[in-house]
Amino acid sequence: MSSFAFSFTPAPSSSSSSTYSPFSSSKTNPPFFASFSSSSSSSFSLRLASPPSFSSFSFGINRRTDPAFVLHSTVEVAGGGGDHGSIGGGHGGGGHGGDDDGNAGEHGRKKEAMMVLAEAGRSLESVPSDLAAAIKDGKIPASVVSRFLELEKNPFFRWLLQFGGFKERLLADDLFLAKVGMECGVGIFTKTAAEYDRRREKFFDELEIVFADVVMAILADFMLVYLPAPTVSLRPPLAINAGPIAKFFHNCPDNAFQVALSGTSYSLLQRFGAIARNGAKLFAVGSASSLVGTAVTNALINAKKAVDKSSSGEIENVPILSTSAAYGVYMGVSSNLRYQVLAGIIEQRILEPLLHQHKLMLSALCFAVRTGNTYLGSLLWVDYARFIGVQ
């Protein structure tokens, strides 16, 4: 190894080194001169100097470590006798350090990911194109590639990995599908229990409304897990003519609090953008699921009125548009924030680092936390619906 260094030093008043100056034939050095010197320390120096009132610039090739180097470049060359020197004394700074560090990081991630593929007997062409492109660009670490290869061993997961959204979420969290099952499984029981806790003696009289709430919840539970889940971004770059708003939201994370992969980072504004984007999506999901739920409820109410004429004055149809809009707002604000915090902070930043080697205990705690969150959401929805007058 050899080091190339640039340093600024005072010009010598006299020098014992041999000096050649193309600028003057006199023995006295002109305002600027060039010199070449050698010493027993195997140090060769080319010096461009000025009078003592200025400073000199020297370019040195040294085989020893010089802690005074400020600017350095690392180059690997063949050395005599198998001896490689230290590069730049271990000091950074200046030059193209930022770009070099970024390129080195990407190259390192690509090399590690390719090694994982090679160890598994796989080629870059044998993985999905979006994953292959991310590996080529050095955007994902080797751990993500290892997780992909593990998931592929299961036929069901292999089928799910064909879908981009599932693939990005499964690569970020191998318990993602289990969390979907937890959420939808406990949704019926927790929401029904919350409805009974709020309505008590009116529970059976308002059974149609309870049914509508449960239907809305089950239809929305999947999206509540899916949209705010942390992801490994494999999305291709946007078209060049894409607008600034599209470019901004394209670069936002899927969860505002998710841990950024090595080599990527999200600004505070981008994390707020994740909340806004998911809020808009959940508003649409909530409004659509409520529309279906209230339509089914009104159909049941009308059927009951047709069978029992005496109940026609007691039971009223549920307002479809106002209930759908109200549930959309509730999903876009309350559910959005609760599930962003749950997936990005409680699970990814707290539980998973502590219990990543104890998957069974991690699953049990995730189940408990999600059950409590679902029950809390049901209570908040009943209070909110009564407050705005849709129930």
Rounded CA-CA distance 85/76 in Å is 10
Instruction: Say what percent of the chain tops pLDDT 90.
Output: 38
Q: Which residue has the higher pLDDT, 60 or 183?
A: 183
Instruction: Give, in order, the Cα–Cα distances in Å from 358 to each of 88, 199, 365, 369.
Output: 45, 40, 11, 17
pLDDT value at position 101? 56
pLDDT surpasses 90 at 43: no
pLDDT value at position 369? 94
pLDDT value at position 253? 93
Find the mean pLDDT for residues 236-264.
88
> Please, what is the average pLDDT of the chain?
76
This prediction has a pTM of 0.65
pLDDT tens readout for residues 338-350: 999 999 999 999 9
- Binned at pLDDT 50, 70 and 90, residue 312 comes out as low
Query: How does 139-167 read in b/e, with b if 16+ C-beta sit within 10 Å?
Result: bbbbebbbbbeebeeeeebeebbeeeebb
Q: Are 170 and 176 in contact (CB under 8 A)?
A: yes
pLDDT surpasses 60 at 294: yes
Find the mean pLDDT for residues 256-283.
92
Q: Which of 170-179, 295-304, 367-376 has the lowest mean pLDDT?
A: 295-304
Q: Which of 151-155, 172-176, 204-208 has the lowest mean pLDDT?
A: 204-208
The encoded tokens of residue 329 equal 């707002």
Q: Which residue has the higher pLDDT, 331 or 45?
A: 331
pLDDT surpasses 60 at 87: no
pLDDT tens readout for residues 190-219: 778 878 887 788 788 778 778 777 777 777
pLDDT value at position 316? 73
Element (H, E) at 254: none
pLDDT value at position 42? 43
The distance of Cα 181 from the centroid of its chain, to the nearest Å, equals 23
Q: Which residue has the higher pLDDT, 96 or 323?
A: 323
Rounded CA-CA distance 388/19 in Å is 91
Q: What are phi and psi of 64, to 5 degrees?
A: -125, 160
pLDDT tens readout for residues 120-142: 999 999 999 999 999 998 888 99
Domain positions in the chain: 104-162, 177-388
